[in-house]
């Protein structure tokens, strides 16, 4: 019998770290002050308070350290380090300039231009793995351009947000993809291959919505928009192809990311957008960045530290037996078949993503402790569990105004509107995000009908599928 971490107050005492953590995350998120770095303090306070409820303080500390040293966490942290550099290389290599050139030189107008903005945002988010960065990078130029080319303002803005959601959902370098895959013990190859039909089905539906409702605005003389447009920047997408091809061929995600990093650096230097000095050099003064490599690593430090802290909290919850009780209650009440297990995974992930303003932490909360055991009980394949969780976390999350990406998206839209004296939609327009609604519909259809479902592949299935 497993030794359980005993807490003063029983189950209520064991819930103290979880209540403290979630309460702090919700408080910061609703106050629109959320983010991986502000979240550090919530996790630190949760671990600290929990210690005083532990009957054996040494066992409590060892449980926290087992969470920090978990092999799943190590893979996630390492992958983030290389994914962060890759994203910075893609931007510095001119990907933005290349996509702007694609969007601005097509001669498209109205709804067709809105659709092209959606595609450009999809490609940028796939290439960089950042939904927030997609909104910040593309909105200042593509939003005003679309406005003057007759696009509907609300649908134009949503095209950027939807494309950002698509990339966060599918990109092998996205934090949510990495977390969902490795908390479920899935390979990146299986995850990307099996998630592609789900993401593309939702993207196709969203594309139809943009094509039908994306026009209707008045054509106006296009002012001189401050933007560097360079077709050579589009070649950076080849580095993304290298990462995806390597991952799909069965290479480890770290190996795939290293190949992608090297490819991005070489392509950037060949096109003249990067130099060896921009990658790494001795700075003129202490404290100044040594280059893109340092900047890329620095961009994921916040996420890495928070991931380490949250893994410590979840391990404490697992060893107190609380997660097992929650699972037993859920299984006894609502989870008695494969279909119900999939709806449980979707539901618990969506619920976790509603109050928390960053979606990867929501996955870290429920992935190892709830999603994996329920999925394994009904022999759902690791990639299937990862896909259900990742798709679910990219639905409602991209609609609610207190979430980081929605706030960043709207701030960029407002800034662009003010710069060119054009109208902007209210932030509530995010509630109509076509890609996220389409993805939710596809997800529900998949769980109900069994489309794209795969069983088996677990090391030790806990029971036969019902």
Structure confidence by residue, pLDDT tens digits, 220-251: 665 666 666 788 888 888 988 888 888 788 78
- Asked whether residue 143 falls in the same domain as residue 182, the answer is yes
140 and 276 both lie in a single domain? yes
Q: Are residues 215 and 152 in contact, defined by beta-carbon separation less than 8 angstroms? A: yes
391/297 same-domain check = no
Using pLDDT thresholds of 50, 70 and 90, give the confidence band for residue 164: very high
Burial environment of residue 124 by CB neighbours within 10 A (0 to 12, 13 to 18, 19 or more) = buried
pLDDT tens, position by position, 340-354: 999 999 998 988 887
Residues 252 and 221 in one domain: yes
Question: CB neighbours (10 Å) of residue 413?
Answer: 26
The per-residue pLDDT for 175 is 84
Question: Does residue 432 belong to any structural domain of this protein?
Answer: no
Give residue 216's domain range.
Answer: 72-301+404-427
* Whether residue 357 sits in one domain with residue 292: no
Asked if 422 and 390 sit in the same domain, the reply is: no
Look over the chain and give the mean of its residue pLDDT values, rounded to a whole number: 84
Is residue 97 pLDDT above 90, yes or no? no
Asked whether residue 243 is assigned to any structural domain, the reply reads yes
Per-residue model confidence (pLDDT) at position 466: 33
Q: Which residue has the higher pLDDT, 72 or 267?
A: 267
CA distances from 268 to 57, 61, 67, 92, 446 (A): 53, 47, 39, 8, 40
- b (16+ CB within 10 A) / e for 433-456: bbbbbbbbebbeebbeeeebbbbe
Domain presence at residue 139: yes
Burial of 354 (0-12, 13-18, 19+ CB in 10 A): middle
CA separation for the pair 437, 420 (Å, rounded): 31
pLDDT of residue 381: 94
Predicted confidence (pLDDT) at residue 457 exceeds the cutoff of 80 = no
The 10 Å CB-count burial string (b at 16+, else e) for 229-264 is: bbebbbbbbebbebbbebbbeebbbeebbbbbbebb
| Domain-embedded: residue 251 | yes
Confidence (pLDDT) at 1: 42
Q: What is the pLDDT of residue 158?
A: 96
Count up the domains in the chain and report the number.
2
- Say if pTM beats, i.e. exceeds, 0.85: no
Evaluate whether residue 26 is within a structural domain: no
Q: Does residue 188 share a domain with residue 294?
A: yes
Contact 121, 159 (CB under 8 A): yes
The reply to whether 314 falls in a domain is no
Do 362 and 269 reside in the same domain of the chain? Answer: no
Residues 144 and 273 in one domain: yes
Reported as half-sphere exposure (CB side, CA atoms, 13 A), residue 62 has a value of 8
pLDDT tens sequence across 410-422: 888 888 888 778 8
Residue 13 included in any domain:
no
Give the whole-angstrom CA distance, residue 264 versus residue 173: 14
Is the domain of 158 the same as that of 271?
A: yes
Q: Please state the rounded mean pLDDT for residues 86-104.
A: 80
Distance CA 137, CA 363 (A): 26
Same domain, 93 and 187: yes
Q: Please state, in angstroms and rounded to a whole number, the distance separating the CA atoms of residues 137 and 142.
A: 9
165 and 210 assigned to the same domain: yes
Per-residue model confidence (pLDDT) at position 448: 94
Domain for residue 167, yes or no? Answer: yes
């Amino acid at each position: 019998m497993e030794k359980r971490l005993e807490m003063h107050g029983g189950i209520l005492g064991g819930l103290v770290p979880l209540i403290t953590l979630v309460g702090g995350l919700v408080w910061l998120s609703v106050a629109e002050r959320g983010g991986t770095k502000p979240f550090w303090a919530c996790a630190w306070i949760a671990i600290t308070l929990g210690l005083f409820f532990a009957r054996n303080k040494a066992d409590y500390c060892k449980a926290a350290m087992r969470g920090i040293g978990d092999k799943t966490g190590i893979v996630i942290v390492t992958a983030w380090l290389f994914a962060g550099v890759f994203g910075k290389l893609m931007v510095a290599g001119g990907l933005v300039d290349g996509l702007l050139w694609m969007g601005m030189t097509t001669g498209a107008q109205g709804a067709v231009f809105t659709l092209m903005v959606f595609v450009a945002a999809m490609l940028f988010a796939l290439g960089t793995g950042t939904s927030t960065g997609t909104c910040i990078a593309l909105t200042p130029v593509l939003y005003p351009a679309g406005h003057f080319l007759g696009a509907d303002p609300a649908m134009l803005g949503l095209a950027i947000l939807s494309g950002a959601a698509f990339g966060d959902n599918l990109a092998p370098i996205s934090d949510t993809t990495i977390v969902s895959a490795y908390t479920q013990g899935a390979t990146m190859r299986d995850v990307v291959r099996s998630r592609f039909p789900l993401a593309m089905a939702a993207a196709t539906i969203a594309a139809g919505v943009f094509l039908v409702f994306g026009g209707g605005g008045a054509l106006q003389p296009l002012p001189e928009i401050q933007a560097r447009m360079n077709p050579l920047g589009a070649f950076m997408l080849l580095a993304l192809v290298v990462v995806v091809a390597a991952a799909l061929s069965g290479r480890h995600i770290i190996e795939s990311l290293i190949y992608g990093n090297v490819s991005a650096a070489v392509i950037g230097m060949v096109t003249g957008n990067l130099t060896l000095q921009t990658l790494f050099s001795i700075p003129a003064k202490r404290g100044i960045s040594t280059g893109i490599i340092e900047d890329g690593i620095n961009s994921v430090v916040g996420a890495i530290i928070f991931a380490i802290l949250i893994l410590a909290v979840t391990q404490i919850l697992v060893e107190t037996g609380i997660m097992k009780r929650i699972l037993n209650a859920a299984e006894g009440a609502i989870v008695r078949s494969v279909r119900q297990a999939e709806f449980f995974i979707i539901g618990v992930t969506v619920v976790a993503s509603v109050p928390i303003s960053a979606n990867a932490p929501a996955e870290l909360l429920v992935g190892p402790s709830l999603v994996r055991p329920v999925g394994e009980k009904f022999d759902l394949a690791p990639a299937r569990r990862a896909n259900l969780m990742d798709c679910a976390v990219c639905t409602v999350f991209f609609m609610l105004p207190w979430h980081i990406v929605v706030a960043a998206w709207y701030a960029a839209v407002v800034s662009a509107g003010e710069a060119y004296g054009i109208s902007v939609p209210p932030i509530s327009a995010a509630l109509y995000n076509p890609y996220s609604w389409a993805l939710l519909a596809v997800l529900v259809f998949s769980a109900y009908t069994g489309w794209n479902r795969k069983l088996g592949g677990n090391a030790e299935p806990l029971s036969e599928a019902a």
